[in-house]
A = this chain, B = another copy of it.
Amino acid sequence: MASMLLAHRLACGFQHNCRLLVIGSRHISQAAAKVDVEFDYDGPLMKTEVPGPRSRELMKQLNIIQNAEAVHFFCNYEESRGNYLVDVDGNRMLDLYSQISSVPIGYSHPALVKLVQQPQNVSTFINRPALGILPPENFVEKLRESLLSVAPKGMSQLITMACGSCSNENAFKTIFMWYRAPGCPDYSILSFMGAFHGRTMGCLATTHSKAIHKIDIPSFDWPIAPFPRLKYPLEEFVKENQQEEARCLEEVEDLIVKYRKKEKTVAGIIVEPIQSEGGDNHASDDFFRRLRDIARKHGCAFLVDEVQTGGGCTGKFWAHEHWGLDDPADMMTFSKKMMTGGFFYKEEFRPNAHGCAFLVDEVQTGGGCTGKFWAHEHWGLDDPADMMTFSKKMMTGGFFYKEEFRPNAPYRIFNTWLGDPSKNLLLAEVINVIKREDLLSNAAHAGKALLTGLLDLQARYPQFISRVRGRGTFCSFDTPDESIRNKLILIARNKGVVLGGCGDKSIRFRPTLVFRDHHAHLFLNIFSDILADFK
C-alpha cells in the first residue's frame, strides 16, 4: 500500500499536465474539482498516446495466445482509484465506462481494501465451496447483508450464479420448469430486437444487438418483437412515440398467439429496462407496465434483465423500480456491478415450491364409477390439482403428483460453484458503502448534471450530438455515424476520458456510483473542447 500512496502523491504533483488538457472556453464554470485525496484522483493525467508503448508490447504478447484486437490498453489496477483508470504507461483517465458498467464504487475503494486485508476473510477467498451442497456458515447472513437487502419488490427467492449469461440461462430454465403446460411440445422465450442477454446458446437466442454475435451458431426459433424506436426530444413527439410503443406491444401479443399455434408456446418474456448493448434504447414506463400486463394476460413469466441497468446507476437500485408496477415482475437477473451474477424470483417459481398443495383423494371415487376415470375431471380445473391418491378399484394404492413435487427437484437449478462467496462478501461491503454514502441520490444528482450538460452540448453541436437520453448516470447520445462515434471515443481517450460505444452510433456513459457532479463537469469541459475542434 505504501508504494500505492507514494505513487499517488507523485502523480498529484503533476496536476498541471491535467489542467493543460481542460483549458479552453468553459461553458460550464462550476467545475471546481472536489478532491478526495484518500481515494479519488482530481483529474486526468496523460503521458503518452493510448495505447502507449507498454500496452502495445503487452498486446503483442497476449495476441500470441488469444486474439487481442479487442483490447483497448493494459491497466495498472493497483494505481487506479475512484473514477480514474491508470494504464501501464502511466496515463490516468476519467473512466466513464467502468469495465463495461461493472465497477460499482470505483477502483481500489478503501472499504474493499480493508475487507480483503482482514484475516477473518482470507478463508473466503481461498476455499471456494460448491454452494449448492456445502455452503459456508455465513452464506445466508452475507446474502441478507448484500443481495437480499436490495431484493426487488415481490421477489423473495434468490440464486447466485458466476456471470450474467449463466443467470439468464438459469432464469430461462426456471421459467420453463414453472410453465410446464401439459402436452405442450416446446417452449420459447420472447425477446426484443436490439436486446442483449448474453452469448451462451440459450441467451444468444434472445440476443439481437449485433448480427455478428449469432452468425454460424445454431439457435432456437423463438419470437422476436420490435422494441420502440423513440423520437427525441420526447416532449415534441409524444403522440408518435405512444403510437410506436403501441405498435410494438401489439406485435408482442401477435407473436405470443402465433407461437402458441406453432407449438412453441411463449413461456416467458425477457426485457431490459434500457437496451444497453443495442444502443441505449429507452421506452416509457407506461410501455413496460403494459408489457407486464400482456405477460400476465397470456400466462407468460415476466423476466427483467438488469445485468447492465441494475446496481443504482439509474438513481434507483433497480431500473425497473421506475416503472411503478402494481404487479411486480416475476423474475430479475443481475450481474456486473453486483459483483456476482444471479437472479431474484417470486416464490411460485421455485422449482420445488409446494406452496399450498392441492391434494385430491380419489381412493373411493377413482376408477371410473362417476362417469369419468377420476371424479375430479368433472371440475374442469384450469390449474390441475397437485396430487391425487388412489387405491381400492385400482387394485394398488398410490398417488400421482406434479413434477414440481419430485423429491429430486432441489438439483434442478444447480451447478458446482453457483457463484462465489468471496463476491458476496465484497458485495455486502459495496452495498454498505452505497447506503452509507447515499450513492443512489448521488447517481440521480450527478446524472442530472451530466444530462443537462449533454443537452447543452446537443444544442450547441446538433451536427454531432442527437437523441440525448438517460436515467441517473445511465446516459447516452447518438452521433451521426459509426465512424464519427469511434473517432470521438478515441480522441476522448487521448484527452483522458474513457467512453464506451453501443448500438451502431451511440456513445454510452457507464460511470461508477462515486461519479459526482464535478466529474460530470470535468468531462463536459473536455468534451466541449473536443467538439469545438472536431472536423
Contacts and interface: CB of A to CB of B under 8 A. Distances in A.
A126 interface: yes
**Chain multiplicity (copies):** 2
A73 B134 contact: yes
A494 B78 CA distance: 47
B125 A406 contact: no
Interface residues of A, number: 114
A514 to B, nearest CB: 14
A146 interface: no
Interface in A66-89: 66-78, 80, 85, 88
B67 A137 contact: no
B350 A77 contact: no
Given A62-B139, A74-B139, A202-B200, A122 B117 contact: yes
Nearest to A112: B126
A125 B200 contact: no
Contacts of A66: 157-159, 350
Contacts of A99: 128-130, 134, 416
Contact of A217 (B85, B173, B200, B216): B173
A28 to B, nearest CB: 29
A128 B203 CA distance: 23
A70 B350 CA distance: 14
Interface stretch (A180-188, A282-290, A380-388, A389-397): A180-188
Contacts of A143: 65
A415 interface: yes
A509 interface: no
Contact of A140 (B61, B158, B199, B339): B61
A166 interface: yes
Contacts of A109: 126
A476 interface: no
10 contacts: A3-B120, A64-B156, A67-B413, A71-B132, A77-B127, A80-B127, A88-B137, A177-B216, A188-B218, A201-B202
Interface stretch (A41-49, A100-108, A450-458): A100-108
Contact of A216 (B65, B71, B180, B198): B180
Interface in A136-175: 136-137, 139-140, 143, 148, 156-159, 162-166, 169-170, 172-173
Contact of A162 (B2, B162, B202): B162
Nearest to A99: B130
A37 interface: no
Given A69-B352, A137-B76, A408-B212, A164 B416 contact: yes
Interface string A230-260: 0000000000000000000000000000000
Contacts of A88: 137
B67 A350 contact: yes
